[in-house]
């Protein structure tokens, strides 16, 4: 994944647990890098190792860390140069989610190494959807829960709920369905 992701993980972990814990996490994860360069590509194993090490060091479940990271990502990207891109993606919650694939196409145009997930929306009435998330990466459904909750906060949808319905693997894709209501 692009360094921007690892940089954001560093931002969340130092904010929540402090610099000393971050140093310990990096050490345990076997990460040598002093800094993550946002536009450089890093092996996905670095990201997974950071989350695994963070879970051991902080005693917080990896799934809870991933969810917190998803929430944080929405704030972090808005504060690190992507506010305009996020604003263009939609003026309300459902519009934004429906435009996520377009957003990734736009980012992928600049960053050819991007391996974007895809998000498919099936509307249920005017305040619900079945969201289908398809990714080459395993285990990130908890992050999507955080991302969607983060978007709910961004768009002042206080009553938003999201529930993971199921996850399956098809060929080299991981597919999860969520019931989202707001």
User: Which parts of this chain interact with ligand 1MF (CB under 6 A)?
Assistant: 1-2, 4-5, 38-39, 73-74, 77, 82, 100, 103, 107, 110-111, 114-117, 135, 137, 140, 143, 147, 151
By the 8 A CB rule, do 36 and 1 touch? no
Chain residue at closest Cβ approach to ligand 1MF: 135
By the 8 A CB rule, do 177 and 132 touch? yes
Matching residue, tokens 């890098």: 33
Q: Which is nearer to ligand 1MF, 116 or 128 (CB)?
A: 116
Q: How far is the CB of 44 from ligand 1MF (least distance, A)?
A: 8
Q: 160: exposed, middle or buried (C-beta count within 10 Å: 0-12, 13-18, 19+)? A: middle
Q: How far is the CB of 43 from ligand 1MF (least distance, A)?
A: 11
Q: Which is nearer to ligand 1MF, 21 or 41 (CB)?
A: 41
Report CA-CA distances (Å) from 150 to 32, 64, 66, 69, 147. Answer: 31, 14, 12, 10, 5
Q: How far is the CB of 15 from ligand 1MF (least distance, A)?
A: 18
Q: Which is nearer to ligand 1MF, 26 or 71 (CB)?
A: 71
Q: Which is nearer to ligand 1MF, 21 or 160 (CB)?
A: 160
In the structure encoding, which two tokens stand for residue 155, read together?
């768009």
């Amino acid at each position: 994944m692009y360094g921007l992701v690892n940089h954001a993980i560093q931002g969340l972990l130092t904010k929540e647990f402090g610099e000393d814990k971050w140093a310990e996490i990096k050490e345990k994860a076997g990460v040598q890098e002093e800094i993550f360069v946002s536009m450089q590509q890093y092996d996905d194993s670095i990201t997974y190792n950071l989350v695994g090490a963070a879970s051991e060091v902080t005693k917080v479940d990896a799934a809870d860390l991933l969810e917190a990271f998803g929430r944080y990502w929405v704030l972090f990207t808005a504060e690190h140069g992507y506010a305009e891109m996020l604003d263009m993606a939609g003026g309300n919650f459902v519009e934004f989610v429906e435009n996520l694939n377009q957003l990734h196409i736009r980012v992928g145009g600049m960053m050819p190494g991007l391996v974007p997930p895809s998000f498919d929306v099936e509307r249920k009435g005017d305040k619900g959807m079945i969201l289908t998330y398809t990714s080459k990466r395993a285990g990130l459904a908890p992050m999507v829960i955080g991302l969607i909750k983060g978007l709910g906060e961004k768009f002042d949808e206080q009553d938003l709920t999201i529930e993971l319905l199921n996850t399956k693997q098809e060929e080299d894709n991981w597919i999860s369905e969520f019931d989202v209501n707001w």
